[in-house]
Amino acid sequence: MKEILSVAKALSDENRLRILMMLSEAEACVCQIIELIGIAPSTVSKHLAILRGAGFIDSYKQGRWIYYHLERSPSAAVRGALDWTVDCLQDHEAIRDDRQKGRTICQQDPELLARAQRER
């Protein structure tokens, strides 16, 4: 039951859904996620921790950057919830907008992107 509650909690926030949908397209570093979602870095970190705790995402470090991606071997509950989420949201207008914006953001150099975010 704890796993189902964790999965449900992870899916109960619009920003976490947007992050999942972004990561269903490609991996991304924190600064790229921040740029897409448009919220504070600390809030993005909290969302990422919830998604990771529920088993939706994993990460790896490359140099000074931490890249997030969907969990490669999720549990059956997480896989089912993720499939359902992607299926339900793939044609949503906000997700279509995010998808287009996310492709552009993920092509940007993380160093330049992080510098621009600090200057704002």
Q: Where are the domains of the chain?
A: 2-115
> What local confidence, expressed as pLDDT, does residue 119 receive?
86
State the 10-residue block means of pLDDT for the chain, 120 residues long: 94 98 95 95 97 97 94 97 97 96 92 88
Cα–Cα distance measured from residue 25 to residue 111, given in angstroms and rounded to the nearest whole number: 21
> What local confidence, expressed as pLDDT, does residue 10 receive?
97
> What local confidence, expressed as pLDDT, does residue 48 receive?
98
CATH value of 2-115 in 3.40.30.10, 1.10.760.10, 1.10.10.10, 2.60.40.1890? 1.10.10.10
- The pTM for the full model equals 0.93
CA neighbor of 102 nearest in space, from 3, 9, 4, 19: 19
> What local confidence, expressed as pLDDT, does residue 118 receive?
87
> What local confidence, expressed as pLDDT, does residue 92 receive?
96
